[in-house]
Amino acid sequence: MGTAENLLEVRGLKKSYARGGGVFAEGGGVRFAAVDGVSFDLARGETLAIVGESGCGKTTLARMVLRLIEADAGEMRFAGEDLRAAGGEKLRALRRRMQMVFQDPFASLNPRMRIGEIVGEPLAIHEARLASGERRERVAAMLGRVGLEADAMRRYAHEFSGGQRQRIGIARALILRPQLVVADEPVSALDVSVGAQVLLLLQELQSELGLTYLFISHSLPVVAQIATRVAVMRAGRFVEVGAAEQVLARPEHAYTKELVAAVPAG
Ligand SMILES: Nc1ncnc2c1ncn2[C@@H]1O[C@H](COP(=O)(O)OP(=O)(O)O)[C@@H](O)[C@H]1O
Ligand SMILES: [Mg+2]
């Protein structure tokens, strides 16, 4: 660990839960590993896609990386810093450098807040001394960058389509200029063509802003559009990791071959 070009380094990450999640499982209940010893490096500027079927542990992994849930075991380094050991002000500082784009743009935007407040909220929290006029300008510029009109600021989430809402979610994630963006199934709730446009936007923003992506999806065609590297996840483990072209075109692991064969041709 500790290579300068790696933004994120993860070793042996584990998280187990009580099977069934029941209250009686605590103490003596059967536990299972939702994430069972995952290791990977994420180089600056790349897009590592984690692909796997529903329930294989993708979201649990994403949430551990962002310290939204605590791992049971393993190591994580972000820009060389011990991410698991960080607390207090240190963690707060690290957190603003990594942001999440959620699967469900409908559920992740507060229906009672105007879009300007939603996108500006991270600035209000982390750059509280920013003058309100300047905050508005930063929000307006970011909304413009994701393809929304300036009057979106005054409107509410329900007034927008699914694709537009995901653009709002992206604007909110990027307003603090993070280095790492963890996108958990960001286009799964969208129609294919709308999702493809959002993927294109994510790619443009990546090269403009020098972003590094950890991109989670259950869809191989989506992964093929955006990933530079692919990790195939099954039952809490990575079964195959490699360059996207290699993993998708010449899979080595039997499970990856099954996934690739299951994608309808065309
Ligand atoms: N808080 C939790 N309590 C108990 N079980 C959980 C919890 N979160 C996730 N799980 C279980 O862990 C496994 C992996 O879930 P998840 O990470 O959401 O998978 P994915 O995102 O790949 O669909 C699933 O079996 C899920 O039911
Ligand atoms: Mg998930």
138 is a domain residue: yes
Name the residue with the closest Cα to ligand 1, atom 9.
60
Does residue 109 register a pLDDT over 60?
yes
Q: DSSP readout, 196-223?
A: HHHHHHHHHHHHHHT-EEEEEES-HHHH
Residues belonging to the chain: 266
Residue 124 lies in a domain: yes
Q: Is residue 254 part of a domain?
A: no
Q: Whose CA is nearest to atom 11 of ligand 1?
A: 34
Q: How far is CA 212 from CA 79, 117, 134, in A?
A: 12, 26, 27
Residue nearest atom 12 in ligand 1 by C-alpha distance? 34
pLDDT tens-digit map of 1-10: 666 789 999 9
- 233 Cα–ligand 1 center, Å: 13
- pLDDT tens digits, 188-198: 999 999 999 99
Whether 34 lines ligand 1, by a CB cut-off of 6 Å, is yes
CB 21 near ligand 1, within 6 Å: yes
> How many beta carbons lie within 10 A of that of residue 36, not counting itself?
17
Residue 129 lies in domain:
107-177
Tokens of 253: 């692991």
**Percent over 90 (pLDDT), the chain:** 88
Q: How far apart are the CA of 226 and the centre of ligand 1, in A?
A: 25
User: Could you identify the atom of ligand 1 that is nearest to the CA of residue 185?
Assistant: 21
Residue 150 located in a structural domain? yes
130 within a domain of the structure (yes/no): yes
Would you state the structure tokens that stand for residue 141, as one six-digit string?
């510029």
Per-residue model confidence (pLDDT) at position 108:
84
For 116, other C-beta atoms within 10 Å of its C-beta total 19
Q: Is the CB of 23 under 6 A from ligand 1?
A: no
Say how many domains are in the chain.
1
The pTM for the full model equals: 0.94
Give domain status of residue 212, yes or no. no
Other CB atoms within a 10 A radius of the CB of residue 8 amount to 22
* Each residue's pLDDT tens digit, 48-80: 999 999 999 999 999 999 999 999 999 999 999
123 C-alpha to ligand 2 centroid (Å):
27
Which ligand 1 atom sits closest to the C-alpha of 54? 23
Domain-embedded: residue 143: yes
Kindly state whether residue 173 falls inside one of the protein's structural domains.
Answer: yes
